[in-house]
Chain A
Amino acid sequence: AQTVTQSQPEMSVQEAETVTLSCTYDTSESNYYLFWYKQPPSRQMILVIRQEAYKQQNATENRFSVNFQKAAKSFSLKISDSQLGDTAMYFCAFMKPARKLIFGQGTELSVKP
């Protein structure tokens, strides 16, 4: 069975600085997708970024980028120029094609002014 591990329950960063959130996963599959979702205090789950395992190039969305290391089964999220609105719980998630999302336990990120 696939598992997703986020080893940092809480992190904090100063506004405008860069922070990296870690995620590792376990799977025997070669074709899959990885996601980062954020859940602010409103509890709305918002997609941040998606990575297809067959793509070697790391996904980027504005200030958000990932470091995808397939052999190491690692999928970290880098947030550049952190903003107060980035304060949220961040979830790493794994999905085999046409299957369910499997989530990590989350990392609570606080951006401090």
Chain B
Amino acid sequence: KAGVTQTPRYLIKTRGQQVTLSCSPISGHRSVSWYQQTPGQGLQFLFEYFSETQRNKGNFPGRFSGRQFSNSRSEMNVSTLELGDSALYLCASSLEPGETQYFGPGTRLLVL
């Protein structure tokens, strides 16, 4: 079974731009969670989607948003990028909320 895939793997943007990251979960997994990883703040939860609905949201500004499609694929969007948004963005999928989460390879975003 294929693992979690994330695209793109690397991205360079400038301040003020917006970006969309994509995540395809493991086949059969219906829950997708997003995390931001930075050297200073570590791993922080962004949001979780299940059945196309946002179930949980972390403590991030409204510039961070996401959605989930009927095939469980998920996207997250960051608008008006700031330098501090430079991070590794990790997507994880699970069969259901609360089940073991399996991570994708991440998207490394650099904001200049």
Residues of A within 8 Å of B105, CB to CB, are: 42-44
* A contact residues, range: 20 to 34
A: which residues have CB within 8 A of B? 33, 35, 37, 42-47, 50, 91, 95-106
Binds A, one of B20-28, B61-69, B70-78, B93-101: B93-101
**A99 and B56 form a contact (CB under 8 A):** yes
**A47 and B42 form a contact (CB under 8 A):** no
Task: From B88, B97, B100, give the contact of A43 (CB < 8 A).
Answer: B88
Question: Roughly how many angstroms separate A65 CA and B86 CA in the complex, as a whole number?
Answer: 35
Question: Roughly how many angstroms separate A101 CA and B42 CA in the complex, as a whole number?
Answer: 13
B90 touches A (CB below 8 Å): yes
Query: With A43-B106, A44-B106, A91-B43 given, is the CB distance from A101 to B88 under 8 Å?
Result: no
Residues of A within 8 Å of B55, CB to CB, are: 98
Given A99-B98, A101-B43, A101-B92, 12 more A-B residue pairs with CB atoms under 8 Å apart are: A33-B100, A45-B106, A47-B101, A47-B102, A95-B98, A98-B98, A99-B56, A100-B45, A100-B48, A103-B43, A104-B42, A106-B42
Question: Roughly how many angstroms separate A101 CA and B35 CA in the complex, as a whole number?
Answer: 9
* CB nearest neighbor in A for B31: A98
Task: From A33, A35, A95, A100, give the contact of B58 (CB < 8 A).
Answer: A100
Question: Roughly how many angstroms separate A27 CA and B55 CA in the complex, as a whole number?
Answer: 22
Question: Roughly how many angstroms separate A65 CA and B42 CA in the complex, as a whole number?
Answer: 25
Question: Roughly how many angstroms separate A35 CA and B90 CA in the complex, as a whole number?
Answer: 17
CB distance from B88 to the nearest CB of A (A): 6
Closest 5 A/B residue pairs (Cβ): A98-B98, A45-B103, A103-B43, A100-B45, A98-B97
